[in-house]
Structure 1
Amino acid sequence: MGAVSPWRANALKKLFETIEKEELIALPDARKNAISEPLVEHYLNPFEIQSLYISPIVHHGKAVGILNVEYNVPNPNWTPSDTRFIKALAVVLGSLYANKETLKSKQLALVQKELAEQSAKMKAEFLASMSHEIRTPMNGILGMMTVLQQTELTSSQRHQIHLAQSSAESLLTIINDILDFSKIEAGKVEIDHVDVDLVSLLSETIESFALKAEEKQTLLEFDCRNLQIAQAKTDPHRLRQVLNNLLSNAVKFTEQGKIILTCYSEQNADETRLWCSVEDTGIGIAKEKLATIFDSFTQADSSTTRKYGGTGLGLSIASQLCELLGGSLSAYSKLNIGSTFTFYIVLKEPVAIEPIDNDALELVLLVPDHVATTSMRHVLAPWHIKTTLYHDMTHLLQHLQANPTSQSLLILDPVMLIESQDTASLKHTITSRQLAFAKISTSEHSQALLWQDLKPALDMLYPLTPANALMLYYGEPELQTQSDSVLHGHVLLVEDNKVNQIVATSLLTKMGLTVSVVEHGVAALQILAADHSFDLVLMDCQMPEMDGYEATSRIRRGEAGEHAKSIAIIALTANAMVGDKEKCLAAGMDAYLSKPLQFDSLKAAIAQWIRQASPVSPTRITTNS
C-alpha cells in the first residue's frame, strides 16, 4: 500500500493487520472502536464520520488499497445486499487497477520510450544553450556584488546590495532546479556515498533558515530525540538538497506559524533508514491537488506561482532524489491547516551515537516562554544529557544553587537578562564556577550583549540544535579556511566577456595574484608562447575565433611552447550540464568550475593547481586584446 512511515503504521496497527488479511471491516460506531480510535481526532470528528464499512482492494493476492464507505450516523442497518455490493465494487476497483497496470506495461511503454528519445536530444540542447546564456550575465551580476561587498559601504548600501544579491541567487536557484531536473531525467545524476556527520548536517541545514523564518514571524523547531545514528555513508549534497527544498517551501508558505523538522533513525533487519518530516502550519494543499504535487512543473494552483514564485520542479526533484537514495517522499496536507512532507533514505555503514558518560553534565536553558519548544527539553536526549528549561532568572539561580557540583552548560537569551534584576548574581555564578555558556537569540536581538566584560563561548540563533549544544560542551572547532591567506603566482585569464573579466580580475587580485587577460584562444596561445611567467590558466570554454576546448588541446600539443604543455588549466564554463566536465577533462583541462564564480571555490581550485612561485612584485593586471 505504498511507503507508510512506522509511526503511522503503529498508530493504526489493528486496521492495517485486518486489511492485510483481506477481511471486511464493519465499524458501526467507529468513534468507539479500537480499530478506528486513532482516527477520531484528526479524521472522524473533523469530517463528522460516525461509522465505516471498509473493504480491501486486492491485486495479485495483496491489498493495494481500500474502499472506504463513510456514514454520518452511527449503527446503520447494513444488510447482506450492502455487503455484497461493497465486495463487488472492491473487486471492480481491483480489476480496474490490474487493467491499468497491464496498460502501463504493454501499451504505454512503447509510447513513452519513443517520446523520451525524441525529446531528450532537443531538451539537452536547449538547456545547454539556456544555461550558458543565463549563467554568463549571472556571473557578472553576482560577481560584481561580491566585489562591492568587499569595499567600504554604508549600512543602507550594504542592505541594498544584500537584497539584490538575494534576488539574483533566487534566480540562480531556479536555473539550477531546471538543470537538476534535466540531469535526473537523463539518468545522469551520480550519487556519491561518503561519510557524513548526520547531526551536523541536519543542524546546519535547519539553522540556515533561521533568518528567513524570523522574517515570516514563524517559529522553527528541530526534534531529533529519536535519532540514534551519528554518522553514516550517504550523499550529503543530495540529502541537503531534499531538506532545503522542503524547508524552503515550508518557510515560503507559512506566515506567523510554526515549522518542525523531525528526524529519527529506524533499524530494520536488512537496512538502516533515516526518516525526516517537515511539518508546517502554512496554507496547506487542497485534497484534489495533493496527488499531482510531485509532478514536474506543477504547483497547487497558478495563483501560488504568482504570489510565491518557483518553477514547480522542486518537489519533483526532491522525490526523485529520495528514490535515488533508496527511499521515497510522501505528503499529507489539509487546506488552510498545514502540510507534512515525510521522506526516508537508506544509510550505509551507520555508526551509533555514543552517550556522554558524565553524570554531572546538564544543559540548562533560560529562554522566553513563547520560543520554548518541547524538542528543546530533549535536544541532547540521544547523548543521555538532561536538559532543564527556565523562563525566569529566579528559578534558574535556584537551580544552580541547588546543584553546586553539576557541570552546567548554560544557554541564555539576552532578552531574559534585560528583563531581570539578578544578572549580577548569574554572572558571579558563571565566573566563580567557570561554567560554559552561550547566547541564543533572534536576529532582532543578535547584537544584544549579555555582559560587556564576559563573552559567551558561542553566539547562536534559534532554533536550538544538538550540534550547537554539543559545541558548547566540546568547544568550537577551529575553522580551516583560506579566505584570508594570500596566493602568489601569475594567472592568465582567457575570457571574452568584459564584465566577467572585471569580476574575475577583481577576485584574483584580492587573492594576491598577478593577472593577465586575453579575449580568445588564439591570443592565449600567442601570449603563452611569448611569456614564460604564467603559473596557471583560467580558460573560458565558449569564445569567438577559438574556444577554450580547442585552445587547451593545442596547448597540450605544444603549440604554445614546450614550457606551457603541462601548465595547469582550469575551465570556466556557464553550461554546467551533464557531460560538460568530462568534455573539459577530455580536452586536457585539469579542473572545472561553473559560473557564477564563488570566491572560496575559485580560490580553493587555484590553490590546489597553481605552481607556488616565489613572491612576485605588487599585483598587476595586463590586458591583451
Structure 2
Amino acid sequence: MLLLFVLRQRRQIRELSHHQDRATESAKTPAAGAGNRGTAKADVGSDVLFATLSHELRTPLNGLLGIVQILNEEREDEDFVAIEGCARHMLAVISTLVNHSKIQAEWDDLPEYREWVSPFEMFEQIKRHLDFRAGLRGLNIKLVHQDKRLRLRGDYDHLRNIVENTILGSLEAISLVEIPSDRKTLTVSWEASDGEVRVSVYNPLEIFSDDRREQIRTAGGLTTGERLPRIKMEYLYWSVASMLLEKYGGALFSKVHPVEGGVTTLLSFEMEQMQASPSEKLPVGGLSLESENRQPKSVKQLPFKLSILVAEDDPVARSLMASVLKHMGQESHFATNGREVLDLVSQSKTFDLILMDIDMPIMDGLSASIALRNGEAGELGTQIPIVAVTAFNTLSDESRFKKAGMNYFLPKPVKLQHLRDVLLEVVRSE
C-alpha cells in the first residue's frame, strides 16, 4: 500500500516545494533553484574543484584497493575486507560531493545518456556495493524484484545514483550509539508499470527527523562559498537523489512505519519501459556483468591470455596494473600518453585490448580513442576494444567515453572482478 501511497503524495510534495520556493526565494530547492545553478560562477568553480579533488583522491585509492583485493584473494581476511569497505566509504562521499556540485553547475544542461538498463542487475550491483556498509550498522540488505526482464530507458548513472544515494542516506540516519547484535533486514523493493517506477526502502533502524525535508532542501542549495553549520551526510545523499528525481518527474517521500518502527522511504518517477527477451546476458552501462548464480570469487588465473596495451601516465598506477594483469595471467604493454598508443597500435598487430586512461599528457584518452576509430593508427585501431579506465567518474561521463568510440568503462578504483568481467566479455565477443 505504501508504494501506491507515494503516487498520491508525489504531486502534493512537488506543489508544496514550489509554493515554499515562492514564499522564501532565498531557500533554493532542486526544482525552483535549478535554473540558477548553471549561471553561478561559484558553483562552476566548485564543479571544477571537486572534479580535480575526485581525480587526485581516486588515483591513490585505486592503488590501495588494488593491493587489498589481491591480498584478499590470496588469503581471505576480515581486516582486508574492512580496509576495502572503509576505502569505498570514502569513494561514496567523494562521488556525492562531486555529483552535488556537478548537478548545481550544469542543471540546465546536465549530461544524459539514455540506454536500456536492467533494474534487476542494477539493484543487485548496488546491494553488493553497500553490503559491507550496511553490515557495519547491523543490517542485511534484502532485495525484492518485480522481475528480471524489465528494462528502463534512462541514464544508468542517474538511476544508480538515485537509488544508491537514497539507501546511503538511510544507512547514515541510523544511530551508532547501540548497534544491535542480531542483524535486522533493510528491504528494498521495486516495481514498474505504465511508465511509472516505484521503489521502497524500509530500514527498521533508521531514525526519522521531523525537519528532514527542510534539511534536504538546504543541502541541495549549498555551495562551497557559504558559511553554514556542518550538515549531516545523509541529507547530502538524499539531496543528490532528490535533485536527480526532479529530472524524471519524480519525488522522494518518507514516513515512520506505524507498527514495526523504522522508516520507509518511497521513490516514484517516470521512465520508458520494455520487456526484454529471455537471456542470461543482463546489460548494465554497456557491460554484461555477473549472473545470479555466479560464485562470489572467480579463478585468479583466467583460462586465456590476451595482449593488453595499458595507457597510463601515473607510474604507481602502471606498476599496480602490471601486477594485476600478471595476477590474472595476462600479457601487458604500456604507454604513457595517447600519442604513444597510436604509435604502438600502428606498429603492432597483436594487441587484443586497450585499457585507456583519460587524463594523460600530450594526447588524452578521449582524443586517442577518436583518432584510433578514425583510422589514424591503421585498421586495428578502428576495431580493437577500448576500455576507459579513469578516476574522472561524475554523472554521465560514460556517455562521453562511448561517443569517443570506447566500448567499456571501468571507474577507478578498479575492482578486480569488474576487470575480469571486461576481459571475459572481450573474449566472448570475439
Instruction: Tell me which of 59, 82, 101 is aligned to 1:136.
Output: 59
Q: Name the count of aligned residue pairs.
A: 381
Going from structure 1 to structure 2, the CA distance change for 1:577 and 1:522 (only over 3 Å counts) comes to same
* Matched residue, 1:181: 100
Q: Counterpart of 1:523 in 2: which secondary structure?
A: helix
Q: Counterpart of 2:414 in 1: which secondary structure?
A: coil
Instruction: Tell me which of 414, 422, 428 is aligned to 1:605.
Output: 422
Question: Which structure is higher in RCO with an 8 Å CA cutoff and minimum separation 6?
Answer: 2
* Matched residue, 2:22: 101
* Matched residue, 1:450: none
* Matched residue, 1:548: 365
TM-score, normalised to structure 1, is 0.49
Q: Give distance in 2, aligned partners of 1:346 and 1:115.
A: 23
**Alpha carbons 1:147, 1:503 under 8 Å: kept:** no
User: Can you give the 5+ residue segments of structure 1 that lack an aligned partner in the other structure?
Assistant: 11-63, 66-96, 352-475, 614-625
- Per-residue deviation, 1:561: 4.8
Instruction: Tell me which of 222, 230, 236 is aligned to 1:313.
Output: 236
TM-score, normalised to structure 2, is 0.67
**Alpha carbons 1:143, 1:597 under 8 Å: kept:** yes
Q: Deviations over 1:37-89 (max 9, x none)?
A: xxxxxxxxxxxxxxxxxxxxxxxxxxx99xxxxxxxxxxxxxxxxxxxxxxxx
Q: Give distance in 2, aligned partners of 1:5 and 1:595.
A: 36
Going from structure 1 to structure 2, the CA distance change for 1:574 and 1:483 (only over 3 Å counts) comes to same
**Alpha carbons 2:353, 2:385 under 8 Å: kept:** yes
Alignment of 1:97-176 (within 5 A): 101=22, 113=35, 116-119=38-41, 121-151=44-74, 153=75, 158-176=77-95
Q: Give distance in 2, aligned partners of 1:254 and 1:206.
A: 25
**Alpha carbons 2:3, 2:198 under 8 Å: kept:** no
- Per-residue deviation, 1:173: 0.8
Q: Given residue 357 of structure 2, which amino acid in structure 1 is its aligned partner?
A: D
Alignment of 1:581-620 (within 5 A): 581-609=398-426
**Alpha carbons 2:168, 2:234 under 8 Å: kept:** no
Q: Given residue 500 of structure 1, which amino acid in structure 2 is its aligned partner?
A: A
Instruction: Tell me which of 307, 325, 328 is aligned to 1:511.
Output: 328
- 1:278 equivalent in alignment to 2:202: yes
**Alpha carbons 1:191, 1:325 under 8 Å: kept:** no
Q: Give distance in 2, aligned partners of 1:138 and 1:608.
A: 26
- Per-residue deviation, 1:239: 6.1
Q: Give distance in 2, aligned partners of 1:565 and 1:223.
A: 41
Going from structure 1 to structure 2, the CA distance change for 1:128 and 1:243 (only over 3 Å counts) comes to closer
Mean CA deviation greater in 506-515 or 243-252: 243-252
- Per-residue deviation, 1:516: 1.3
Going from structure 1 to structure 2, the CA distance change for 1:136 and 1:252 (only over 3 Å counts) comes to farther
Q: Deviations over 1:188-217 (max 9, x none)?
A: 3556564545xx98799779877666655x
Going from structure 1 to structure 2, the CA distance change for 1:518 and 1:213 (only over 3 Å counts) comes to closer
Q: Give distance in 2, aligned partners of 1:315 and 1:498.
A: 38
Going from structure 1 to structure 2, the CA distance change for 1:255 and 1:480 (only over 3 Å counts) comes to closer
Instruction: Tell me which of 325, 329, 349 is aligned to 1:532.
Output: 349
Q: Give distance in 2, aligned partners of 1:564 and 1:256.
A: 55
Q: Counterpart of 2:216 in 1: which secondary structure?
A: coil
Q: Give distance in 2, aligned partners of 1:202 and 1:573.
A: 23
Going from structure 1 to structure 2, the CA distance change for 1:101 and 1:599 (only over 3 Å counts) comes to same
Tell which structure's C-alpha radius of gyration is larger. Answer: 1
**Alpha carbons 2:307, 2:351 under 8 Å: kept:** yes
- Per-residue deviation, 1:515: 0.8
**Alpha carbons 1:124, 1:182 under 8 Å: kept:** yes
- 1:569 equivalent in alignment to 2:390: no
How much is the aligned-residue C-alpha RMSD, in angstroms?
4.9
Q: Counterpart of 1:274 in 2: which secondary structure?
A: strand
Q: Give distance in 2, aligned partners of 1:179 and 1:243.
A: 16
Name the % identity.
22
Instruction: Tell me which of 297, 303, 326 is aligned to 1:486.
Output: 303
- Per-residue deviation, 1:486: 2.3
Q: Counterpart of 2:254 in 1: which secondary structure?
A: strand
Q: Give distance in 1, aligned partners of 2:131 and 2:162.
A: 19
Q: Given residue 170 of structure 1, which amino acid in structure 2 is its aligned partner?
A: H
Q: Counterpart of 1:292 in 2: which secondary structure?
A: helix
Q: Deviations over 1:295-320 (max 9, x none)?
A: 32699x96885xxxx47420112223
**Alpha carbons 1:488, 1:612 under 8 Å: kept:** no
Q: Counterpart of 2:218 in 1: which secondary structure?
A: coil
**Alpha carbons 1:195, 1:232 under 8 Å: kept:** yes
* Matched residue, 2:280: none
Q: Give distance in 2, aligned partners of 1:536 and 1:230.
A: 31
User: Can you give the 5+ residue segments of structure 2 that lack an aligned partner in the other structure?
Assistant: 9-14, 223-227, 276-290
